[in-house]
Every structure is written in C-alpha cells, then in structure tokens.
A = this chain, B = another copy of it.
C-alpha cells in the first residue's frame, strides 16, 4: 500500500511536542511534575478568559461562528488594522500551514533558517515545497543577508521567526527594514511573532510587524498561546493586506476556531492586568535564571521571549533525562542539532528554583 501515499509525506519528520505532565507522572510514578518545555504561561490562563469560557460553555452544542465576528472586530481595534486584514488560526501553526497551502505551488521554494521553529519545515514538506535552509550566525541570530541572497526566481516565501524559537534572539527594526526593502514584492515575508508581547516589553529596537503591512507581501502571525496563557484553546491569527487574507480565507477550514477559543481569546484581549503581570514577572524571573547560569558558568542566550536556550556542556539528552527523573520537563535541543543545549521555559519562582537546584545536582 506504500504507493497509496504521496511520496513527499514519507519524508515528513513528525513534530515531537514537549512531554505532557501526565505522561511523566505515569512513566515515573511522580506526583509533582513541572513543565518548562513548551513556553506556556506559568501564571495560568487569563482570569477574564476563564470567566468567559465558563459563561460560553452552555452553547457548545452550537457550531462556532465561522467568521469569528466578535474576535476579529476586537483584534481589528487592538491592532489598528481593518477586519479584512485578519485571519484566525487553530493556533498560529495553522496560519503557517494555510499560508503554504494558499501560495506555494509544488516545487516552488521557501527559505527557512536553521535551526528555527520546526513547523515551517514540516508544513513545507507536507505541501511538497522546495526548501532552502540558511544557518543562523554564530551568535544564534537570523542571517538576513544570507537569506536575502538565497532568494531566486523560484522563491515564493521566506519565514522569519521574530523573536526566534528556540534561540530567543530577535531581528532588529533596522535589519528587518533593510531586509524588507531588498526582497522582491512577489516573495512573501512570513513574520512569525508568536512571542511578540515579550519582545515588545523592554527591547526598544524590536520591530512591530504591523508597521509594515502597507507592503503587499507581508504576513504577520501572532498567538494567544504564550503571553495570553491560552495554549490549550488553540487560537492564533495572521494579519496581511486584504488580498492575501482573502486568498487564505478560501483555504481555511470554516469552523477552525472552537467556540470557547473565540470567547476566551476575546476576553483575554481585555485582560491588560494579566498581560502586564505576565510580562513583568517573566522579565524578572529571566534575570534570576541568567544570574544562576552565570554562577554555574553556563553560556546562555539573552532572550526576548519567555524561554532561555542554555548550553549545559554535556549531552543534552542525558541532562533532559536526569531532569525528567526529578519531575522537571525541559526541551533537549537534539532535534535542532544543538547537542549540548536545553531550552527552558520561565516558570513560577518556585519552579525556577526547583529547576536550578536539580540542574546543579546533575552537572
């Protein structure tokens, strides 16, 4: 039956998600397990979102609004763009998939940094898209000049994670603007801003993708999974000029956004207190982690997100496993080719202490 499947599907390397807490509890017989593996918001979901979900529950026998009318309207006001410039996704992952399915003919090319967020590669492979990978610079930053030079007549899209995952670095306003100027207008720049809120808090030369939407070839994506604390609900969005959005809307599944996700995200946008608390807390705890890494003489990358990439100077899979035994889930960077690195999400003050204590024991 192996001739029944599309050949390119056989080449897809499935995405390996962060281990769920319940899995580790089951496998190791542990009661308390802390997860610092998926860059979730350790302070929980926005309380306003929770209240809205509770109120919306009674209607889950009804289909969600296929147009996400109220959520789009609210986002439109928040972002200062018209409603026809917004497309909702089942997480911003889905916006990436929809963009590829809308614009990439088989055999056309996308440009992807290496290492970076893995979904660009997986989604491209599924669509049988040619991929060209451009290594990060030695200090783990996007090499925009090399990415520009990689563009050829066959190139249709370039992915820029800003800030980047798993490194936590970002492209500056100046560098992004020079890059945008240099890219032909029929090549789409996909600007993935899943960690926008964290980078926008205190990094003055971090650019806001919304400022470039007068260009015909820019798609910006953002997420409710990180700073807004709604990873479990699956809501993200893309913003682009109305023509690109109208094309993508033809590819989007009509009921892709869950009814509770719509009401939860809508309320979360109103919960500025929770967002500010999250941003302030994350910045503070990053400093705690940096200082501890300094004392342990571990190299890390200053992060514009809610996670930190750190060189543990040992086989990262072994360190990952030792942490797991102690009920702490992080991400080993083997799949990204960074053999001595782990990525750790900023947790609560108590979780970060537990992580640091365990790490010291292990190293």
Contacts and interface: CB of A to CB of B under 8 A. Distances in A.
A4 interface: yes
A261 B258 contact: yes
A283 B185 CA distance: 58
A258 B234 contact: yes
B63 A247 contact: no
A3 B60 contact: no
Interface in A35-66: 35, 38, 40-45, 49-50, 53-54, 57-66
Contact of A233 (B21, B60, B232): B60
A99 to B, nearest CB: 11
| Max count, chain B CB within 10 A of own CB: residue among A105, A156, A249 | A105
A115 interface: no
Interface string A174-193: 00000000000110100000
A14 interface: yes
Given A5-B102, A9-B102, A22 B65 contact: yes
Given A15-B254, A93-B253, A231 B62 contact: yes
Contacts of A20: 62-63, 65-66, 69
20 contacts: A1-B185, A4-B103, A4-B188, A6-B102, A6-B104, A9-B250, A14-B249, A15-B66, A17-B255, A22-B69, A35-B62, A40-B63, A42-B61, A50-B57, A61-B232, A91-B253, A231-B255, A232-B259, A233-B258, A233-B260
Contacts of A69: 20, 22-23
A100 B319 CA distance: 41
A18 interface: yes
Interface in A229-278: 229-234, 243-244, 247, 249-251, 253-256, 258-261, 264
Nearest to A6: B105
